[in-house]
């Protein structure tokens, strides 16, 4: 008997006005699995993540986390549910007004009510896990480079030892070497935690490195889902065009929104 899935999306639909962004998404993620969703810009990858987190509310369908329906969940229940999650945002989304260590410890102090001294010790430990010195903890986010901000964001995502971690374009805007460093850190940290992860990216190097399974999103639907090792012989011309970055193929760039 197979274990129940950690996250299940069934027939999820989301539109903004007349623009249909998610058009019936079905995806199941097992406990401890790392799934990466690839797709071009504006295909709805971030909307999918935010729907699972309850930041956006789909019009139709079901999203279950550990068997519990997320859509329409009360704010108090969602706060409780969020204790299971960690998230690394595309632009890091660090709080400008707080020091680096306070950013990392935020979920521990505000979400779990831990005292500041104990939370600071854990924050310093997590900063070390992503390769940042203790002294970086006293800086403000604006004083860090983009790569360092991503590391801090990763430290914040793993600080509460969450069961589920979402990565939204974790390597966007980074040079290839720093991107690989972040990918390695993601693999190392998530394996250590045994976390279930859902990532979205259009960086194929990143997808190959961190994924157990890859799903491709195109025009609001998942057009291919399979093991990461099969991505190069998916037999899907859309996937082939995307992973090889070809301008010619069935995917046409829309010039207007």
Partner 1 sequence: MDFLATIGRVFLAFLSHVGRLSAFTGTALSHVVRPPFYPRLTLRAMVEIGYYSLPVVGLTAVFTGMVLALQSYSGFSRFAAEGAVATVVVLSVTRELAPVLAGLMVAGRIGASMAAEIGTMRVTEQIDALTTLSTNPFKYLVAPRLLAGLLMVPCLVLVADIIGVFGGYIVGVYKLGFNPSSYLARTWEYLEPLDVISGLTKAAVFGFVISLMGCYNGYYSRGGAQGVGAATTNSVVSAAIMILIFNYVITALYFGK
Q: Which residues are near partner 1 by CB under 8 A?
A: 50, 53-55, 75, 78-80, 82-83, 85-87, 89-91, 93-96, 106-107, 110-112, 156, 166
* Residue among 165 and 239 whose Cβ is closer to partner 1: 165
- Closer of 139 and 225 to partner 1 (Cβ): 139
123 vs 216 by CB, closer to partner 1: 123
Q: At closest approach, how far in Å is the CB of 18 from partner 1? A: 16
Q: How far is the CB of 67 from partner 1 (least distance, A)?
A: 20
Closest approach, Cβ 161 to partner 1, in A, equals 14
Residue 234 Cβ vs partner 1, minimum distance, rounded to whole Å: 32
DSSP codes, the chain: -PPPPSEEEEEEEEEETTEEEEEEEEEEE-TT-EEEEE--TTSSHHHHHHHHHTSS--SEEEEEETTEE-TT--HHHHHHHHTTEEEE-TT----TTS-HHHHHHHIIIIIT---HHHHHHHHHHHHHHTT--GGGGGS-GGGS-HHHHHHHHHHHHHTT--SEEEEESTTTTS-HHHHHHHHHHHHHHHHHHT-EEEEEES-HHHHHHH-SEEEEEETTEEEEEEEGGGGGG---HHHHHHHHT-SSSS----S--
**Residue number, 56 or 228, with CB nearest to partner 1:** 56
Cα dist. 18→97, 180, 201, 206, 249 in Å?
A: 38, 39, 25, 33, 27
Smallest separation (angstroms) from partner 1 to the CB of 153: 9
Nearer to partner 1, 152 or 174 (CB): 152
Question: Please, which residue, 79 or 143, has the CB nearer to partner 1?
Answer: 79
For residue 101, the minimal CB distance to partner 1 (Å) is 15
Give 72-95 as a DSSP string.
T--HHHHHHHHTTEEEE-TT----
Report in angstroms how near the CB of residue 165 gets to partner 1 at its nearest.
Answer: 10
Nearer to partner 1, 95 or 227 (CB): 95
């Amino acid at each position: 008997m197979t274990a129940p899935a950690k996250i299940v999306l069934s027939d999820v639909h989301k539109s903004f006005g007349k623009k249909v962004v998610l058009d019936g998404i079905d995806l199941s993620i097992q406990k401890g699995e790392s799934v990466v969703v690839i797709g071009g810009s504006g295909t709805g990858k971030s909307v999918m993540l935010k729907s699972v987190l309850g930041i956006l509310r789909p019009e139709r369908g079901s999203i279950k986390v550990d068997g519990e329906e997320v859509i329409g969940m009360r704010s108090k229940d969602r706060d409780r549910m969020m204790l299971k999650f960690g998230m690394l945002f595309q632009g890091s989304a660090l709080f400008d007004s707080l020091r680096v260590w306070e950013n990392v410890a935020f979920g521990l102090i505000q979400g779990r009510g831990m005292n500041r001294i104990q939370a600071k010790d854990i924050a310093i430990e997590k900063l070390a896990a992503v390769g940042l010195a203790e002294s970086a903890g006293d800086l403000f986010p604006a004083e860090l480079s983009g790569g360092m901000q991503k590391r801090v964001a990763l430290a914040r995502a793993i600080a509460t030892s969450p069961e589920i971690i979402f990565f939204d374009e974790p390597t966007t805007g980074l040079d290839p070497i720093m991107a690989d460093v972040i990918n390695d850190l993601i693999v190392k940290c998530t394996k250590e935690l045994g976390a279930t992860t859902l990532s979205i990216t259009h960086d194929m190097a990143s997808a190959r490195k961190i994924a157990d399974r890859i799903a491709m999103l195109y025009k609001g639907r998942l057009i291919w889902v399979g093991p990461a090792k099969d991505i190069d012989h998916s037999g899907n011309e859309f996937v082939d065009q995307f992973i090889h970055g070809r301008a010619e193929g069935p995917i046409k760039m829309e010039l207007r929104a």
